[in-house]
């Protein structure tokens, strides 16, 4: 703590020079006021030493006034009060100069740790859809369209590639039944690169859904958040995340273009109802992947694309099973 100045109580003593001058003045006052031999009157000696008085006090006043005046001139003025207009201008300037991620990019970042690649192994299918998927995967790898599939162990054939989404942190995964049906072995690859064998623990054929249980999971596995579709409306923004032709995870954005739609597979074997129609790009390999809103919450499971021809390419209409139906396949309706 700063100590206050210490002041002495002893009487002031004059400097030596001032003391001698005072003695001389006293001697002169004691001498008779007479003229000298020459008839000239002697003047008392002038004081030359320092002595406090009115001049010193006046000088002190001048100094104080100068300090006050200088403080008034140089002391910083109080800053201007910030108004709402200033805040709005700063926000607008930031939005114009800073590059912000798109809503779809933020949503994809949220869901990505919960998305898995699903591969089924077994006898190779001869259906048009299986052949299309095989050509697409080969072209994505820079191989001839009809080149034999690789990546499988001896005696295994990669039948197809799809997508899944983790809904329970113990390794419970939702996907499409047609992705894994007939597979002798199923492998899933998590977001951190971990590969694990998975087994089917539940199916819901009427909604083309299957539930998988991974035999090995990452230490920090993050399940997806699910959102009811009760308030979903045509025009709402959505994104599809998956592995089209095995490439991914890939993200495509669009909107909900319809609700409560029905779809019959090209083979005419099964009809699905109460589907979400969307226009975010989807292709073979997206099947089983999540359809999400801009908060990264799962609204449904991508299950089919409309194909008037046998080309199996996206023409702008995809379908997803609502998450209410998908979660019930796992035995845990979320809403």
Per-residue H/E/C for 119-138? EEECCCCCCHHHHHHHHHHH
pTM: 0.66
The CA-CA-CA angle for residues 318, 322, 324, to 5°, reads 170
User: Could you identify the residue written with the tokens 């798109």?
Assistant: 102
Catalytic residue annotation? 178, 208, 287
pLDDT value for 34: 45
Quick one: pLDDT at residue 209?
A: 93
d(CA 269, CA 304): 14
Question: Which pLDDT does position 163 carry in this prediction?
Answer: 97
Q: With left for phi above 0 and alpha for psi between -120 and 50, is residue 122 left, alpha or beta?
A: left
User: Could you tell me the fold of the domain covering 237-329?
Assistant: Thrombin, subunit H (2.40.10)
pLDDT of residue 223: 95
- What digits encode the pLDDT tens for the residues 23-56? 555 555 545 444 444 444 455 555 555 455 666 6
Residue 291, Cα to own-chain centre: how many angstroms? 21
- Length, in residues, of the chain: 335
Taking a C-beta distance cutoff of 8 angstroms, is the pair 329, 203 a contact? yes
Going from N- to C-terminal start, the domains of the chain cover 107-214, 237-329
Distance in angstroms between the alpha carbons of the first and the last residue of the chain: 65
Identical fold, 107-214 and 237-329 = yes
Cis peptide before 53 (omega within 30 of 0): no
For each of the chain's 335 residues, which pLDDT tens digit applies?
444 444 344 455 555 555 555 555 555 554 544 444 444 445 555 555 545 566 666 666 667 666 655 554 455 555 678 899 989 998 888 878 878 789 999 999 999 999 999 999 987 666 666 666 667 666 656 667 666 655 555 556 777 889 999 999 999 999 999 999 889 999 999 999 999 999 999 999 889 999 999 999 999 999 999 999 999 999 999 999 999 988 989 999 999 999 999 988 765 567 899 999 999 999 989 999 999 999 999 999 999 998 766 666 788 899 999 998 877 766 665 55
The answer as to CATH 1.50.10.10 being correct for domain 107-214 is no
What does the block give as tokens for 88? 């709005």
φ, ψ of residue 85 to 5 degrees: the values are -65, -40
């Amino acid at each position: 703590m700063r100590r206050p100045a210490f002041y002495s109580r002893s009487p002031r003593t004059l400097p030596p020079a001032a003391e001698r001058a005072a003695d001389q003045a006293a001697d002169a006052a004691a001498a008779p006021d007479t003229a000298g031999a020459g008839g000239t009157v002697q003047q008392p000696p002038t004081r030359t030493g320092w002595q406090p008085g009115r001049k010193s006090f006046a000088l002190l006043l001048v100094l104080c006034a100068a300090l006050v005046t200088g403080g008034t001139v140089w002391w910083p003025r109080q800053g201007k009060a910030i108004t709402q207009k200033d805040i709005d201008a700063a926000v607008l300037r930031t939005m114009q100069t800073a590059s912000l991620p798109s809503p779809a990019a933020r949503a994809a970042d949220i869901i990505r740790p919960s998305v898995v690649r699903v591969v089924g192994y077994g006898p190779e299918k001869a259906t048009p859809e299986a052949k299309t998927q095989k050509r697409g995967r080969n072209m994505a790898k820079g191989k001839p369209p009809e080149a034999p599939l690789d990546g499988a162990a001896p005696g295994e054939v990669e039948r197809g590639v799809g997508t899944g989404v983790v809904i329970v942190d113990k390794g419970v995964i939702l996907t499409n039944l047609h992705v894994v049906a007939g597979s002798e072995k199923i492998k899933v690859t998590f977001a951190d690169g971990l590969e694990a064998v998975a087994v089917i623990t539940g199916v819901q054929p009427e909604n083309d859904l299957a539930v998988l249980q991974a035999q090995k999971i990452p230490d920090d596995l993050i399940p997806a958040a699910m959102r009811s579709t009760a308030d979903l409306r045509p025009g709402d923004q959505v994104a599809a995340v998956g592995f089209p032709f095995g490439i991914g995870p890939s993200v495509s954005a669009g909107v909900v273009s319809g609700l409560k739609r029905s779809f019959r597979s090209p083979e005419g074997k099964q009809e699905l109802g109460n589907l979400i129609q969307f226009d975010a790009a989807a292709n073979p390999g997206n099947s089983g992947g999540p359809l999400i809103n801009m908060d990264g919450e799962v609204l449904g499971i991508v299950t089919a694309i409309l194909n008037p021809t046998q080309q199996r390419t996206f023409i702008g209409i995809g379908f997803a099973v609502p998450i209410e139906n998908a979660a019930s396949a796992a035995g845990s309706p979320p809403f």
